[in-house]
A and B are shown apart, each in its own frame.
Chain A
Amino acid sequence: MIRVVLPAHLRTLAQVDREVILDVQGPATLGSILDTLETTYPVLRGTIRDHVTLKRRPFIRFFACEQDLSHDSYAIALPPAVVSGAEPFMVVGAMAGG
């Protein structure tokens, strides 16, 4: 069970509460969390990363356990506290005015 916190606009778009629970199959990596998130909530496709290249959108950040994972490889394993559900994985809209 992996907890994912979404930014407000994406919660509205996906019609979910602040936190969603994902059942990630196989190793819990940055990429597998995002894959599962987009499969569970298809409306989020293209809003967090590019449809084709899968590159993170410039003003999106990934945080967990007080670490910035935004620049990590999608293949990297997530911290054990995220995998256990003790800590959430956070999708964050970067602070950039507006």
Chain B
Amino acid sequence: MSGVRVLVGTRKGAFMIASDGKRERWDVSGPHFGGWEIYHLKGSPADPNRIYASQSSGWFGQIIQKSSDGGKSWEALDNKFVYDGVPGTHQWYDGTPHPWEFKRVWHLEPSLTDPDTVYAGVEDAALFRTTDGGRSWHELPGLRGHGSGSAWQPGAGGLCLHTIVLDPSNKDRMFVAISAAGAFRTGDGGATWQAINRGLRSEGIPDPDAEVGHCVHRIAMHRSRPNVLFMQKHWDVMRTDNAGDSWQEVSGNLPTDFGFAIDVHAHEPETIYVVPITSDSLHYPPDGKLRVFRSRTGGNEWEPLTKGLPQRDCYVNVLRDAMAVDTLDRCGVYFGTTGGQVYCSADGGDNWTSVVRDLPPVLSVEVQTLP
């Protein structure tokens, strides 16, 4: 019988949570790498037993871990992330030039076809790649070399490249998002990049329609329609139907359009999920009610999903990498909170149960659908 394995990164370690296809009973293992921040871990679509994890610490820096047996054992990999050439500067919070400095890996995106190829989105924002299973990492410098790099400025969480979306129909095309620079697209495997922020409007920057400077929080794609992207921006939920050439707002009737996470149903490309958060200074759900909002129309028309979620006195956040979907026939939706809960809906969002309640603050959630 098929099953799922949920990969949870937290402030104090990684957890792996397994269930069969019913998704009713859960087996929790961890903490793996206890005491370390696990910003992200993700399995290879080409080999589910291959899992990569970003392990970091304010004391000891960055470690990259790899498992080749589904998380039973781990191997520390190369952790040398060195910018290509002379790193140059980006803008600091006060607007002055600041040298590019590597701090941590926010997101690991394994290739869709090769278990040994992985992309790493890092802070200060850049894209690295390994093609030898993590023995060495090399920057794809064309992204920082995009003419706007010197104007990028950190968001409150740092100048981080946090989203990497690979196009399943074109191995040379991918999308990335950077806080607070915006979204970028390559069509040549990462050699050159184009800013794709037309239609975004951000009141917090001097020119609200600027080519770069937008605080994009997360981008999601359904693999059957790689030209359609959904975005949770600092404020505003957006969509594009032309691979980012232009964006339209689809916040519609959401109670607030601030938030971090966004994802797409595995089998319904127009069904999307967000978790509205009150505001940029109030990082918790409106009215103390934890609600996922679902749109079955690709945006604009949203319905609250509340069954099984706390509807009073709830003041957690759901971070950008902390939502995922499985690909079972009845699509499962998962998210984790800064209060340490991981929730699952085995029916596309209609009903929710807590998989685990008292983990450290959850930074990321990924799910593997296993044969």
A contact residues vs B (CB 8 Å cutoff): 7-10, 13, 43, 45-48, 51-52, 57, 59-60, 93-94, 96, 98
Check A47 against B58 for contact (C-beta < 8 Å). Answer: no
User: In the assembled complex, how far is the CB of residue A16 from the closest CB belonging to chain B, in whole angstroms?
Assistant: 13
Flag if A93 contacts B59 (CB, 8 Å). Answer: yes
Q: Can you offer 14 A-B residue contacts whose CB atoms are under 8 A?
A: A9-B36, A9-B57, A10-B60, A46-B62, A46-B79, A46-B80, A47-B61, A47-B63, A47-B79, A57-B60, A57-B61, A60-B59, A60-B60, A96-B59
Q: Does B149 contact A (CB under 8 A)?
A: no
Which residues of chain B are within 8 angstroms of A9 by Cβ–Cβ distance? 35-36, 57, 59-60
Which residues of A are found within 8 Å of B35, using beta-carbon distances? 8-9
- Bound Cα distance from A96 to B59, whole angstroms: 9
B193-212 CB contacts (< 8 Å) to partner A: none
Q: How far is the CB of B21 from chain A (nearest CB, A)?
A: 35
Residue B82 interfacial (CB < 8 Å) = yes
Residue in B59, B63, B76, B80 whose CB lies within 8 Å of A94: B59
Known: A47-B63, A51-B82, A52-B82. A13 touches B58 (CB 8 A): no
Q: Which residue of A lies closest to B79 (CB)?
A: A46
> CA–CA, A57 to B76, complex, Å?
19
Question: Given the complex of chains A and B, what is the CA–CA distance between A3 and B49 in angstroms?
Answer: 39
Most buried by B among A13, A59, A60: A13
CB-based contact B59/A13 at 8 Å: no
Q: Given the complex, which residues of A lie within 8 Å of B60, measured CB to CB?
A: 7, 9-10, 13, 47-48, 57, 60, 93
Residues of B within 8 A of A (CB): 35-36, 57-63, 76, 79-80, 82
Tell me the smallest distance from the CB of B212 to a CB of chain A, in Å: 28
Which residues of the other chain, A, contact B63 by a CB distance below 8 angstroms? 13, 43, 47
B61 contacts across to A, CB distance below 8 A: 46-47, 57
Q: How many A-B residue pairs lie within 8 Å, measured between CB atoms?
A: 43
Closest to B62 in A: A46
Minimum CB–CB distance from A45 to chain B (whole Å) comes to 7
Given A9-B59, A57-B61, A98-B58, 11 more A-B residue pairs with CB atoms under 8 Å apart are A9-B35, A9-B60, A10-B60, A13-B63, A43-B63, A47-B79, A51-B82, A52-B82, A57-B59, A59-B59, A96-B58
Q: How far is the CA of A94 from the CA of B58 in the complex (A)?
A: 10
Docked complex Cα distance between A93 and B60 (Å) = 8
CA distance A86 to B203 in the complex (A): 64
> Please, which residues of chain B bring their CB within 8 A of the CB of A8?
35
Chain B residue at smallest Cβ distance from A47: B60
By beta carbon, the residue of chain A nearest B36 is A9
- The smallest beta-carbon distance between A6 and chain B, in angstroms, is 10
Q: Which residues of B contact A51 (CB under 8 A)?
A: 79-80, 82
Note all chain B residues with C-beta closer than 8 A to A13: 60, 63, 76
| Docked pose: A57 CA to B79 CA in angstroms | 15
- Chain A nearest CB, measured from B126 CB (Å): 15
A43 touches B59 (CB 8 A): no
Say yes or no: B57 contacts A43, CB within 8 Å. Answer: no
Nearest residue (CB) in A for B11 is: A98
In Å, the complex CA distance between A51 and B81 comes to 9
